[in-house]
Amino acid sequence: MFASGAGSNLQAICDHLDEQRGSAPAEVVLVVSDREDAGALTRARARGVPAIWVPRERSDRLAALLQEHGVTLIALAGYLRLVPPDVVAAYRGRMLNVHPALLPAFGGRGMYGARVHEAVLRSGARVTGPTVHFVDERFDEGAIIAQWPVPVRTDDTPASLGARVLGVEHRIYPWAVSAVAAGSVRLGADGRTEGAPKFDFDVFTPEPRRHPFTG
């Protein structure tokens, strides 16, 4: 996993894989951050996962590092750098990202963190939500794997909206990582996602019959 920030998605993915015990389709073997003080590195070390700081000017090291650790799938979670093209090419269809808005809206260079939620609020959009997608050479443009709608409330601030979206990221991102690791969802030769289930509001809710909008 690659992360620049707090690492709450990293935590959610690790917890999800732990819950599946012996039948988990993946294991987190390496955490990389471009920031030495990233919470994600601390969380990884606390779990005994190798956690390495790779500053931006050393990103030419990444491909070798991934190979050394036997990495077969990469999940970006709040990683703020563009991944070097050699790594993108080597992991095409095997690298995922989570973005805190419904792509293709509110994405692209410079659209991260509170800026995304500020832009959503400024636009007057009534619905937002996280997107999980495959990573290609451009920011936030790879094939979409999963999305989940989150209503925008009239009294939302960027912080309140961001917190609500993040809670949903913690549900859909582990699911998407597991599905790609297990091979039930993949990037097709035509550049589109194959094998995604039909969109189903109930998939991620704890109580199967409860609709997230109507309660």
Size of the residue set binding ligand GRF (CB under 6 A):
15
**Binding flag, residue 174, ligand GRF (CB under 6 A):** no
Pick out residues in 142-171 that bind ligand GRF (CB under 6 A).
166, 169
Instruction: Examine the residue annotation and report whether 99 is marked as an active-site residue of this protein.
Output: yes
CB of 10 to ligand GRF, least distance (A): 6
Pick out residues in 56-95 that bind ligand GRF (CB under 6 A).
77-78
Note the Cα 123 to chain centre separation in Å: 24
Tokens of 173: 């991102």
**Binding flag, residue 129, ligand GRF (CB under 6 A):** no
63: enclosing H helix or E strand: helix 62-68
Residue choice 98, 102, 103, 161 for contact with ligand GRF (CB under 6 A): 98
**Binding flag, residue 107, ligand GRF (CB under 6 A):** no
The phi, psi pair for 69, rounded to 5°, reads -90, 5
Sign of CA dihedral 63, 54, 14, 169: negative
Which region among 2-10, 47-55, 66-74, 82-90 touches ligand GRF (by CB under 6 A)?
Answer: 2-10
Give one DSSP letter per residue of 62-118, joined into a string: HHHHHHHTT---EEESS--SPPPHHHHHHTTTSEEEEESS-TTTT-STT--THHHHH
- Contact positions toward ligand GRF, by CB under 6 A? 3, 5-10, 40, 77-78, 98-100, 166, 169
Active site residues: 99
